[in-house]
């Protein structure tokens, strides 16, 4: 009887932990275990003593009045001393946006069925018509080498962008805009960016954080009626002036200031503000007619409220021709000639009605910016990253087939296979992340943490892919000219890495700093309860949190021991199911590690950016992996999709594992770190990067499988065959594929001794002479050779022409 009681108690106790039952339940389970041991006569007198201790604890924690006063209140006081004080700007930034799938990943037990059931809509008929019509036409009009030499888009391109409505994609139809979804907007930017980064930036900035976005959400109806139709038609060109010499990543530290001041205008007293600012890196500023401006508003004389009040960050719209505005100079961002430059304002006086939302919105600018960024970062730069990676995939897939060395396409060499596999795998991930994130926006979510993830990690993946593509293209990649579009993509990569929150800052501070509070199921509740001195709410959150830690400890340990097999996931296919199971394990491990890091480091975690950066890596790769699973689930199943999912699975799980190990290796409390490692990795670190064989399969897919190559690059613009660059390369690939069986027959004849070895076209001529091939086949080979020679050629310039290059 005692033995059965012990076994039952152990099973129940572990189940209570694993299934996340209440704190009191653990104590009751422990009491049952000890009682069973006592009945079995195990442990002697100390068992009886332990039973009494556990029974006392059960009473203490089970009787609410005792627990509140003897346990909860002292802990609450201590935590109030330890928790870092949040400033108003930090609080607003943390509260911006909503929590979505990132909350599931922080839960330790993500609901995979909800993700797979989440509806991702295709583009509307109107959006698809725009992609097939105006977007295709715009791409046809653009010669990116010409844009580079002119240092601007040609006037006909500017006119078409305005006329076709590209600057008003996010503006609703009632105000004269196109009213496209986030997904439609993203697809358009993706396609244009595959043609020209300059054109893509020109189109995406007015549809991102700026006057139109801010007016839509916060403007007065009068402001909307006046400005939105003009912005939609391109009659006004907007820019948004946020960054200054003193305020880059710390935008709230701006020294741009507005002083409330009354002046007489047309014989009437008008309340206004005198503005002074110095801003830089402002995209479209040199041609902007309407400046969105962020500044601190102060009222030293108490004209609209309390004397001396600093209202904080405020946003206003300033027409270009307002006296005191200095604008028109240009920066040169990496030689990519989109319009970007500084703007200065000296004693610029405007009415208070110029504040976005009117005077009553004074001081609400920081909230406006944070809430807009929560969604806006999810679209523009991720779309640009997808365009660049798909272009690189399309380009090197063709080039590695057409370009030969040692009578072999270079894509057959293992040294080339490795970066080809990485290019294909990351391109697959980015396409899925773009699609899923935009669908979340269109469903009404504003996932601020996810928006930071996709901005930082998609632009970083773009850097990796373009670097690999440059390596594969080798010498042809570094010679500038009309034939080499990849070099212009390469030049634009650092811009995406830097703007809208530099990636270093986003990774080390924003993603985990915001995620640890917003996405965690209990931390924000605890902070708010302490701030509001709400004892019962803190009690509920605290013991929920303790339960959360214990259950994640059990889940992480049990799933690690069982190879993640005992966690239930939806049925899609074996590879997808195992991927979800492993991610569930790492979700529990990540949540547990987060709690341990917060518990041992307290407020100092905010300054331990290497640790928070590694935790951000965990969360980011879990999200990117989730988007790949969703893509695999939604798309038709094929051999290449299976191989891509397996590559993504191996790569993502390895990245998550290494990030967790990095945290464990660097937690200051080494005893806690050792115990945590034993829970999370009881059998050691078992995940490996993608194997060589898997990498070969993925690389071959973009070399040999035309359907796979099309699927991976379906969002970009494909130029006509008579255009140098990608268009000519596509044509050369088609001709090379047509010639492959003929070349194979010639090589077989050489192996059989029917033909002597000879270089290139000489061997083809020998094959014709010995009737190995026909005249028609010889012509096919000659056509393929001519096309191959054309696309491997590089540009050269006469000395006089060279000196004029920009």
Give the three-state DSSP class for 487: helix
- C-alpha dihedral (241, 245, 246, 248), degrees to nearest 10: 60
User: Cβ–Cβ contacts within 10 Å for residue 192, how many?
Assistant: 28
Give bridge partners of residue 269 from the DSSP assignment: 264
* Dihedral sign (CA 493, 498, 504, 508): negative
Dihedrals phi, psi of 86, to nearest 5 degrees: -95, 130
Return the structure tokens found at 510. 């924003």
Give the Cα separation of 694 and 697 in Å (integer): 5
Question: Checking DSSP bridges between strand 290-299 and strand 408-409, what pairing results, if any?
Answer: unpaired
Are residues 416 and 681 in contact, defined by beta-carbon separation less than 8 angstroms? no
Output the CA–CA distances (angstroms, integers) from residue 545 to 493, 526, 622, in the order listed: 42, 9, 22
By the 8 A CB rule, do 417 and 703 touch? no
**Would you please indicate which residues are annotated as catalytic (active-site) residues?**
500
Is residue 421 within 8 Å of 698, Cβ to Cβ?
yes
- Beta bridge partners of residue 405, listed in sequence order: 408
Q: Are strands 238-241 and 290-299 parallel, antiparallel or unpaired?
A: parallel
* 316 bridge partner residues: 293, 355
Crossing angle of helices 609-634 and 448-473, rounded to 10°:
80
Which 3-state string (H, E, C) describes 569-607? Answer: CCCCCHHHHHHHHHHHHHHHHHHHHHHHHHHHHHHHHHH
Alpha-carbon distance 432 to 576, whole Å? Answer: 15
Cross-strand bridge partners of residue 343: 279, 327
Residue given tokens 């030969």 in the structure block = 404
Name the residue among 466, 431, 416 with its Cα closest to residue 627: 431
Reduced to 3 states (helix: H, G, I; strand: E, B; else coil), residue 564 is coil
CB atoms under 10 Å from CB of 463, counted, come to 19
Q: Is 235 exposed, middle or buried (0-12, 13-18, 19+ CB in 10 A)?
A: middle
Q: Are 173 and 179 in contact (CB under 8 A)?
A: yes
Distances (CA, A) of 512 to 108, 173, 284, 612: 16, 38, 32, 6
Nearest-10 Cα torsion for 191, 491, 332, 806: -100
Total length of the chain = 806
**Residues in Cβ contact with 406 at an 8 Å cutoff, skipping those fewer than 6 apart:** none
CA distance 243 to 184: 29
Q: Which two tokens stand for residue 731?
A: 């044509």
Structure tokens at 82: 């330890």
Helical packing angle, 726-751 and 760-769, nearest 10°? 50
């Amino acid at each position: 009887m005692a033995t059965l009681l012990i076994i039952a108690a152990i099973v129940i106790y572990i189940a209570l932990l694993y299934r996340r039952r209440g704190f009191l339940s653990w104590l009751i389970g422990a009491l049952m275990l000890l009682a069973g041991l006592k009945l079995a006569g195990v442990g002697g007198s100390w068992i009886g003593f332990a039973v009494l201790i556990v029974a006392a604890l059960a009473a203490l924690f089970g009787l609410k009045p005792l627990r509140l006063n003897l346990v909860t209140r002292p802990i609450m006081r201590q935590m109030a001393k330890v928790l870092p004080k949040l400033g108003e700007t930090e609080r607003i930034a943390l509260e911006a946006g909503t929590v979505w799938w990132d909350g599931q990943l922080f839960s330790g037990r993500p609901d995979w069925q909800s993700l797979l059931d989440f509806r991702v809509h295709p583009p509307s008929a109107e959006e698809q018509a725009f992609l097939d019509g105006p977007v295709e036409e715009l791409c046809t009009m653009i010669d990116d080498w010409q844009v580079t030499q002119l240092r601007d888009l040609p006037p006909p391109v500017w006119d078409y962008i305005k006329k076709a409505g590209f600057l008003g994609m996010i503006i609703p139809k009632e105000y004269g805009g196109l009213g496209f979804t986030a997904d439609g907007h993203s697809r358009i930017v993706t396609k244009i960016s595959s043609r020209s980064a300059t054109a893509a930036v020109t189109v995406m900035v007015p549809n991102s954080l700026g006057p139109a976005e801010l007016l839509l959400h916060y403007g007065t109806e009068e402001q909307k009626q006046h400005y939105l139709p003009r912005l939609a038609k391109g009659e006004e060109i907007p820019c948004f002036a946020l960054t200054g010499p003193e305020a880059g990543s710390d935008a709230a530290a701006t020294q741009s200031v507005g002083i409330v001041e009354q002046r007489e205008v047309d014989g009437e007293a008008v309340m206004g503000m005198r503005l002074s600012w110095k801003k830089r890196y402002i995209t479209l500023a040199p041609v902007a007619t309407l400046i969105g401006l962020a500044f601190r508003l102060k009222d030293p004389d108490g004209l609209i409220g309390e004397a001396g009040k600093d209202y904080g960050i405020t946003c206003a719209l300033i027409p270009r021709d307002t006296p005191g505005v200095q604008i028109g100079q240009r920066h040169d961002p990496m030689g990519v000639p989109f319009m970007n430059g500084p703007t200065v304002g000296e004693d610029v006086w405007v009415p208070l009605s110029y504040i976005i939302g009117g005077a009553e919105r004074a001081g609400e600018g920081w909230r406006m910016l944070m809430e807009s960024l929560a969604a806006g970062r999810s679209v523009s730069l991720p779309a640009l990253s997808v365009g660049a990676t798909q272009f690189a995939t399309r380009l090197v897939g063709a080039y590695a087939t057409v370009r030969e060395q040692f009578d072999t396409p270079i894509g057959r060499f293992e040294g080339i296979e490795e970066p080809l596999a990485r290019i294909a795998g990351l391109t697959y991930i980015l396409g899925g992340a773009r699609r899923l994130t935009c669908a979340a926006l269109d469903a009404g979510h504003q996932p601020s943490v996810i928006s930071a993830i996709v901005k930082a990690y998609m632009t970083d993946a773009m850097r990796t892919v373009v670097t690999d593509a440059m390596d594969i293209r080798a010498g042809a990649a570094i010679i500038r000219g009309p034939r080499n579009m990849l070099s212009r993509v390469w030049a634009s990569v650092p811009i995406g890495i830097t703007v809208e929150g530099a990636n270093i800052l986003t990774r080390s501070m924003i993603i985990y700093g915001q995620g640890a509070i917003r996405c965690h199921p209990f931390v924000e509740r605890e902070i708010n309860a302490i701030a509001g001195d709400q004892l019962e709410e803190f009690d509920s959150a605290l013991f929920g949190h303790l339960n959360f830690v214990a259950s994640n400890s059990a889940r992480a340990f049990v799933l690690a021991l069982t190879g993640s097999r005992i966690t239930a996931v939806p049925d899609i296919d074996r590879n997808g199911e195992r991927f979800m199971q492993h991610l569930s394990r790492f979700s529990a491990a990540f949540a547990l590690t987060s709690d341990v890091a917060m518990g041992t480091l307290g407020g100092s975690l905010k300054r331990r950016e290497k640790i928070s950066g590694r935790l951000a890596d965990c969360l980011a790769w879990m999200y990117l992996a989730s988007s790949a699973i969703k893509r695999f689930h939604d798309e038709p199943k094929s051999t290449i999709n299976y191989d891509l999912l397996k590559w993504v699975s191996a790569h993502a799980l390895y990245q998550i594992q290494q990030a967790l190990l990095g945290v464990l290796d660097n937690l200051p409390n080494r005893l806690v770190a050792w115990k945590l490692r034993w829970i999370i990795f009881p059998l050691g670190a078992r995940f490996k990067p993608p194997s060589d064989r898997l990498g070969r399969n993925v690389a071959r897919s973009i070399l040999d499988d035309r359907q796979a190559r099309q699927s991976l690059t379906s969002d970009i613009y494909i130029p006509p065959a008579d255009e140098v660059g990608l268009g000519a390369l596509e044509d050369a690939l088609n001709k090379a594929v047509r010639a492959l069986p003929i070349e194979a027959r010639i090589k077989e004849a050489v192996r059989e001794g029917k033909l002597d070895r000879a270089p290139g076209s000489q061997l083809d001529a020998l094959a014709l002479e010995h009737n190995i091939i026909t005249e028609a086949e010889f012509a096919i080979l000659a056509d393929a050779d001519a096309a191959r020679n054309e696309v491997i050629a590089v540009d050269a310039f006469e000395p006089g022409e060279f000196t004029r290059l920009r």
